[in-house]
Amino acid sequence: MEELKSAKNTRVKEWKKLLTKKGRDQSGRYILEGAHLIEEALKTDEIMEIMVLSNYTAFEFERLKKFPITLISEEISRAISATETPQGIFAICKKRIAGVDLAVHRKLLLLDGVQDPGNIGTMIRTADAAGIDAVIFGEGTGDLYNPKVIRSAQGSHFHLQIETGNLVEWIKKLKAAHILVYGTALENAEPFMNVPASDSFALIMGNEGSGVDPDVLQQTDKNLYIPLYGKSESLNVAIAAGILLYHLRKPI
C-alpha cells in the first residue's frame, strides 16, 4: 500500500485537476469524497482507486482491498478536498456512460440552463426519491461532476440515467416515444393541479433567473405553473421541481 505525504507529488497534482471541469472532461474521471458517497459508489463498477488518511478509521478497509489504495497525509487531503473540512477518504471514479432508453425510461426530468450546483444536486436527489428514471442536462446547465453537485445529490447520480444534450432535440425524441412534455412558465401556462398523474412524462425546469428558454417552451405539450398563495415572489427551482415531480407521477 503506497503512502504519499507531499501535496507537490505528481499524482496529487493529477488528482487536483479533477476539481476542475476541464480536468474532468479531459480525463473522463472525477473525484468523490466522503464515506457515504463511496459507499454508494461501491455498488457500481466505477471506482478506480482509493485515497485515505493513514489514520482513518470510519471505514472497513477489507471492503476496499480490490482497489488500489494510497495512504495520504492531512496536507494532501486538504489539497484534493472541495470542502473546508476534508472527510479523509476519497475515490477516483470514471464518468458514467448513460443509456437512456425511452422504451424503458418513461419518467424524465430535463434541466434547461440550471446553474447553481446545490440546486442541480438537489433536483437529482429529488428525482431519485420520486422514482424518476432519467435526468437530461440541457445546454447551459452546470456540470454533473462538479463536487458541489455530487455532494448535494448524495449518491443519487449513481441511481439514475443522466445524459447531456440539446433539449429541443430531446423533446422531438420524447414526442416520438409518446411521452408528454411539460414545461414550466409563468405565462401561457396552467396550474399544475389541472394535469393528471401519469406513468410517463417529461418535466422541464429552467434557469434560476430567466426560466425555461422560450424556444424550448414552444415545443412542449403543455406549460405549467405553481400558484403562489403567500407574499413570496417565487419558489426555489429545486423545491418547485419536487412539487411537480411528485404530482405528475402516479403513486405506486
Show the 3-state SS of 154-194.
CCHHHCCEEEECCHHHHHHHHHHCCCEEEEECCCCCEEHHH
Beta carbons within 8 Å of 162's beta carbon, 6+ residues apart: 96, 98, 124, 134, 135, 136, 137, 144
What is the pLDDT, as a whole number, of residue 6?
95
Give 65's pLDDT tier (boundaries 50, 70, 90). Answer: confident
Give 247's pLDDT tier (boundaries 50, 70, 90). Answer: very high
How many whole angstroms separate alpha carbon 209 and alpha carbon 122? 17
Q: How far is CA 95 from CA 98, 101, 157, 192, 199, in A?
A: 9, 19, 11, 35, 29
The ranges assigned to domains in the chain are: 2-94, 107-248
- Whole-prediction pTM: 0.95
pLDDT surpasses 80 at 59: no
Q: What is the mean pLDDT of the chain?
A: 95
Percent of the chain with pLDDT over 70: 100
How many whole angstroms separate alpha carbon 195 and alpha carbon 110? 18
What is the pLDDT, as a whole number, of residue 50?
96
What is the pLDDT, as a whole number, of residue 98?
83
Give 156's pLDDT tier (boundaries 50, 70, 90). Answer: very high
The x, y and z cell numbers of residue 43, run together, are 455498488
pLDDT surpasses 90 at 252: no
The sheet with strand 201-206 has its strands ordered as: 161-164, 134-137, 107-112, 201-206, 180-184, 222-225, 190-191
What is the pLDDT, as a whole number, of residue 83?
94
Residues in the chain: 252
Q: Which fold has domain 107-248?
A: Alpha/beta knot (3.40.1280)
Question: Does the 2-94 domain belong in CATH 3.20.20.70?
Answer: no
pLDDT, tens digit (0-9, with 9 covering 90-100), for 210-242: 999 999 999 999 999 999 999 999 999 999 999
pLDDT surpasses 90 at 55: no
pLDDT, tens digit (0-9, with 9 covering 90-100), for 90-143: 999 999 988 999 999 999 999 999 999 999 999 999 999 999 999 999 999 999
